[in-house]
Every structure is written in structure tokens, then in C-alpha cells.
Amino acid sequence: MEQYLNPLIERYSSEKMLKIFSPYNKFSNWRKLWIALAESEKALGLNISDLQIDEMKQHIYDIDFIKAASYEKKFRHDVMAHVHTFGDQCPNAKPIIHLGATSAYVGDNTDLIVMREALMLTQKKLAILIDKLAAFANETKHIPTLGYTHFQPAQLTTVGKRASLWLLDLVMDYEDVSVLIDQIKMRGVKGTTGTQASFLSLFDGNHEKVIALDRMVANKMGFKESLAVTGQTYTRKYDAKVANVLNGVALSLHKMTNDIRMLQSLKEVEEPFEKNQIGSSAMAYKRNPMRSERVASLCKYVMSLSTSPQYVAATQWFERTLDDSANKRLSISEAFLAIDACLDISNNIATGLVVYEKVIEKHVYAELPFMMTENIIMEAVKKGGDRQELHESIRVHSMEAGKKVKLEGLENDLIDRIVNDPIFHLSLDDVKALMNPKDYIGRSIEQVNEFLESQVEPIRANHRESLGEMVDLKV
């Protein structure tokens, strides 16, 4: 191969998302917009015939991309290239195609249509991932595991409770995506600088017809309404908002896959590893968390892309400048393609997470003597001990037990030290009675149950027909 191939297309993004950002979808939407405009102008009294509209409708999808490219090379203008290409196919309709409109009528409205379609697919894939992670959290909510603060052993949590932390972030992302879908309005029919002057002229100064035209076109294209005011373009804050929401999804997935990578290093939880998968070309024994690493890698890319639309929105001059076009062609599409890949890979991971309970249990019991010291003090006080003296003794014994583990590589002997210290008045059986890990997980199980019921079930209810979809990764 002698030409660059975009990895998002070749390796990562789904066919569904690629179709949304395809030239075919883009330019067929341009044609639908020209038809919606002509139909609405006709309905409001302009001299446009059913023959012209029917002719346009017959050629929505048979786009001659070679001819359009030839026209664009000649005109140096993509919209006029496609006006002429469409006009060649629709000779009767050619005189009224794009009537009263500016380039942003098809360009900007299509961008908003495409972004809304892409957000809807993102929303659906978030729901599928949330459902699978929720099932994992529910299945593992009872398994005690070490909690970590500063990546140092802390009080116990459960495997499922930790997964609920990943879920919470993703539920927040789902909510943000859903809000943004509802917020997106069409640019509508606004004219060259947003004043609708050309349409006011077409309708001989009839403001009501211009207002109706704007509303009718928006409705025909599936929008409840259009933006109240625009310049030549819709406000580029829309692009910035979209990029920021995708950035939020990337943050959540990056955090989740970082945790999974560390858990795999601890041999506690492992992402799927296929029968013939190779972890290393040199070290045959390795089981690298390559899916989680890929998600983290692509998420970094999405996060880096989020700044471009912000710069574009901040530096638009008055009603518009063209320094937005080349940037947004890349940043918006690639952010969606990359986050689509991240969601698919994460879906694949969530489908086959493996939990090694014996390893988790080993790690828990290695640290449990430290975790249970407060309970030991309480039991010793019940037997007549002095809380302050007991606390100091526990502190000294803990430091010595820690040295044995760290400096000599020996087992944690804190329990033996406490049993053999007469100040505690506790037998080995007394202490062993305090060594059930489930006594130290607090409300982890109940919290998972309450969270899934209140936060996840409504999302599941909105996407029943899509839940459980499997993902077959390209690589």
C-alpha cells in the first residue's frame, strides 16, 4: 500500500459510525435538505412544481462523486460542485435547487444532523456498556477485596462496589449525551449572514412566511425547532459542547481501563484473553491487557481533540470565518470515531472480565490483620482493657509486623503478636471470630443494589431492544 490509511477506519471504528460520517450520508443529507427547502417554499407559494420535487427525490442517493470532484476542482467550492452535480441529474429542478440558501444551509444543517446521529449511536453504546458492567457489578458485589487509596491497601470494599464507581462515571456521561441530543437544534433557513434577507425577498417581505419556512424545514428534517439566531453558521459552541461530552466519556473509560490494567497486574481481575492470543513476541507467558491499553491510548487522543473545537469557537469573527472548516472536518469526526472504538472495545472487555477470587482472598487476608485492629481494640475494651494503652500497643505491634513483611519477606504475624500480648486478654478463637472479611465491607452490597436500581434500571428500560449486543473487534 502506497497511501496513508487512517487507523480509525482500518482498525478501530465500527461500520455504523463510519457510515454516519461517510460522504454518502453527508451528501445525501444535502440533497434531502434541498428537497425540504423546495417543498416548503412551494407550500408557501413559490413557483416550484411537483415535477421538480419528484425529480429531486429520485436522485437522493445516486450521487456521482467523480463528477462532483471534477466540479469542485473547477469551482473551488464544494457546495456549488454538488449543486451542479445534482442539477445535471435533475434538469427540470436545476433552476430552483438551493433557492435563497447559502452554503451553510446544507453544510451546517448536515453537520448538526450527523452529530445528532453520532450522539444517538454513542448513547446506545453507552447503555449497552452500562448494562454489561451493571451485570458484572451485581455478580461480584459480595466478593470482598482490598480497597486502595494512593494505591496503598485501605479498608475493604467489594469487586462489584468498585465496578459501580466505573458505572457512576458512565451514567453521568450517558446523562450528558442525552441532554445534548435534546439540546441540538437545526441551524435552519437563515440566509447568508443569518438575517434571512434572501428569503424575505423571495416572499416579498412576508415575515410570517419566512418564519414558517424555517420551522417547516426543521420539522421535515426531524427537528422540533431551529436556532433562534445564527450568523452565517450555527454557533461553534455546539462543536465545543459535543467535543467536551465525548471528552467526558474518554475520561471515564480511561479511568476504568487503568484500574483494570492494575488489577490484571495484581492477578485479581483480567480482561478477556483469547485461546490463540499472543501477549508478547518474546515472552510467551505474558497476558498483556492489550484491550484496556488500546482504550486508554485512544481516549488520550479523544481528550487531546477536545481543545480544537474550543479554539475554533473562541476565534470565529463576527458572523463567520472559514478557519473553522478544515479543523472541524477532522476534530469532530475523529473524536466520534475514536470514542466509538473505545466503547466497542470496552463492551468487549466487560463481556468477558475474569475474577480470580482466590488471589483476591489471599491479598485480603495478608492485610486483614491491619484492617481489623479497631475491632480488636473494641473487643479488648469489653474485657476491661484501656483503650489508649491498647491503641499504643496495636501501633507498636503493627509496625513490627510490617517490618517482618517488608524487610524479611515473612508472613504478617500481627495476630500472633496480639494473642500473645496479655494486655488484650484475647484468645486465638476470639481474634479469629473477627476475621470474616464480609464484616469489613460496610454497605457495599446494599450500595450496589440501590445504585443499580435507581441509576441503571432507567437506562436499561430506555434501551431494552439493544441490550446484550456483542462486539466483534477488527483486531
CA quadruple 342, 343, 348, 350: dihedral, nearest 10:
110
Residue position matching grid coordinates 470514542: 339
Reply yes or no on whether the pLDDT at 275 is more than 70: no
Is 14 part of the annotated catalytic residue set?
A: no
The mean pLDDT of 209-213, rounded to a whole number, is 98
Instruction: Identify the pLDDT of residue 469.
Output: 81
**pLDDT tens for each residue of 238-253:** 999 999 999 999 999 9
Check: CATH 1.20.200.10 for 9-142+157-274+281-357+456-462? yes
Residue 226: HSE in the Cβ half-sphere, 13 Å Cα cutoff: 26
pLDDT digits (tens, 9 = 90+) for 259-270: 999 999 999 999
pLDDT tens-digit readout, 301-319: 999 999 999 999 999 999 9
Angle in degrees, CA 439, 443, 446, rounded to 5:
125
User: What cell was used for 348?
Assistant: 468487549
Q: What is the mean pLDDT of residues 153-175?
A: 97
Domain 373-434: assigned CATH number: 1.10.40.30
Burial annotation 290-313 (CB, 10 A radius, 16+ → b, else e): bbbbbbbebbebbbebbebbbebb
- State yes or no: is 280 an active-site residue: yes
pLDDT at site 333? 97
User: Using CA atoms, how far apart are residues 308 and 205, in angstroms rounded to an integer?
Assistant: 40
364-404 pLDDT, tens digit each: 998 998 888 888 898 889 989 999 999 999 899 989 988 98
Tell me what pLDDT residue 412 has.
Answer: 87
Q: Is 8 exposed, middle or buried (0-12, 13-18, 19+ CB in 10 A)?
A: buried
Task: Kindly report the three-state secondary structure assignment for every residue of 299-362.
Answer: HHHHHHHCHHHHHHHHCCCCCCCHHHHHHHHHHHHHHHHHHHHHHHHHHHHHHCCEECHHHHHH
| Interatomic CA distance for residues 417 and 400, integer angstroms | 9
pLDDT in tens, 415-442: 899 999 999 988 888 888 888 999 999 9
| Sequence ranges of the domains in the chain | 9-142+157-274+281-357+456-462, 373-434
Q: What angle do CA 468, 473, 475 make, to 5 degrees?
A: 165
Cell for 393?
A: 500497643
Q: CA–CA separation, 107 vs 26, rounded Å?
A: 9
Tell me what pLDDT residue 2 has: 84
φ, ψ dihedrals at 425, nearest 5°: 55, 40
Give the percent of the chain with pLDDT over 90.
84
Give me the pLDDT at residue 388, please. Answer: 94
Catalytic option among 265, 280, 427, 454: 280
